[in-house]
Amino acid sequence: MRDRVLTILLLVFLFGLFAADLARPINLAAVDIGRHVKNGELLLQGQWDVLHRNFYSFTHPDYPFINHHWLFGVLSYGVHQCAGFTGLSVVYIGVLLGALFFFLRAAVLRGHFALAVFFAFLSLPILADRREIRPEGLSFLFMGLYFYLLTKLSLGQTRQRTAFVILGTAQVIWVNTHIFF
């Protein structure tokens, strides 16, 4: 019982520390989230040229461009409409906490809990370095999901069909939210 309480306290501390580090203020004028929100709005209004035109360029607006993260814009716009920039920040913190959770769970499945937590603490500065709301946060989440499900599959702890349905669905979302797939 005592070990379980210590484990829970350690995990709460780890995730709380990570969330607190991510919750620091960001300079919204210096990041891309405004562009992503606007792209999502334009796409939902049927302005499809955002998908293939260098929309925000003054000097070369007709230069061919492929918007590989269009779905991130649509999702960002939806969250922004419901909860504003604060809601976007909270959702993004949740996405990165989810990524940490999946990687930690996979590491625990393959090894020792204390080592997994130790390396999770070491990874926090790297993960929290890009705390601005960006499409790559979803890539971190999907990488964690992949790593976790493939680890479970390799250990025989999940059915192949279940893993492939989840991973296939995740892949369709991932390729349209960030190019890091």
In this predicted model, what pLDDT tens digit does every residue of 64-95 receive, in sequence order? 888 999 999 999 999 999 999 999 999 999 99
Q: Are 47 and 4 in contact (CB under 8 A)?
A: no
Token pair in block for residue 45 = 């209004």
Q: Compute how many other C-beta atoms are within 10 angstroms of the C-beta atom of residue 60.
A: 8
Share of the chain above pLDDT 90, in %: 63
Residue 1 has pLDDT above 80, yes or no: no
All residues at 6 or more sequence positions from 73 whose CB lies less than 8 Å from its CB, including other chains: 35, 36, 37, 38, 39, 40, 43, 50, 67
Residue 30 has pLDDT above 80, yes or no: no
Q: Where are the domains of the chain?
A: 2-174
Give the model confidence (pLDDT) of 132-145 as tens digits.
899 999 999 999 99
> For the whole model, what pTM was predicted?
0.91
